[in-house]
Amino acid sequence: MGLFKTSIISLICCSTLFSFEHKNHILYLMNVKEYQQSINYYQKLYKETHEQDFELLQQMALLLLEAGAKSSDQKERQMAMFGAGLAASTRSLKILEKGLFAPEMATQLTALHFICALQDNDINTLLVRAMSSDFLETRVEAAIQLATRKHPCAFGQIQSLMQKLPPFLKPLFPQFFGLIGTSDSTRILKEFLYDEEPNVRVQSIIAIANSNR
């Protein structure tokens, strides 16, 4: 954990470094997890050449973040998600994808948050995959995003999720169907208005009002 954190800080501190002809050697060191040696070598060549290569720095950062995403340490995985998310680049999407299927909920939710902030054709596919998460919180967040984006699979995915969950969670779902806005979702909302559970009826009225149905 300490080495990973130190390496990230070192990369940030040398963000004004310049390019050089030994790029392959630096990337090789990053690939074999000799992060500090790679950064030190970069700094050494910078002092000699005084030329910058931000593309190389980005490659180094992505390799470091990818290693963090694959780490067995939960804190390193989470730090990698924050780094990839703050990069706000579609080049970091594969790193965030690894976090979306991490074994802990916090990393999944962090990855999902940053994935939804990007603009990429693969994001909707990842949201559908997130609906199979072991964590209900992740599935609910993915459901909200699918409904908000009016994804063609949103209705089926959310209806399937509702049927799998215990009845006391049913009041969560009127908001989802209100966001989708299709004829099928409107039909479900009408059915909710006559549900035996008062909270379902109340949430349905709120969803109908919010969506101007």
Q: Report pLDDT for 6.
A: 62
Which has more confidence, 45 or 165?
Answer: 165
Which has more confidence, 151 or 6?
Answer: 151
For 121-159, b/e burial (b = at least 16 CB within 10 A) is: eebbebbbebbebeeeebbbbbbbbbbeeebeebbebbb
Q: Which of 23-37, 138-152, 198-212 has the lowest mean pLDDT?
A: 23-37
Over residues 154-213, the pLDDT tens digits come to 999 999 999 999 999 999 999 999 999 899 999 999 999 999 999 999 999 999 998 887
pLDDT band (50, 70, 90) for residue 16: very low
Structure tokens at 29: 């060191």
Over residues 57-84, the pLDDT tens digits come to 788 888 889 999 999 999 999 999 999 9
Structure tokens at 76: 């390193």
Q: Does residue 20 register a pLDDT over 50?
A: no
Over residues 91-142, the pLDDT tens digits come to 889 999 999 999 999 999 999 999 999 888 889 999 999 999 999 999 999 9
Q: Does residue 151 register a pLDDT over 70?
A: yes
Q: Does residue 45 register a pLDDT over 80?
A: no
Which has more confidence, 10 or 122?
Answer: 122
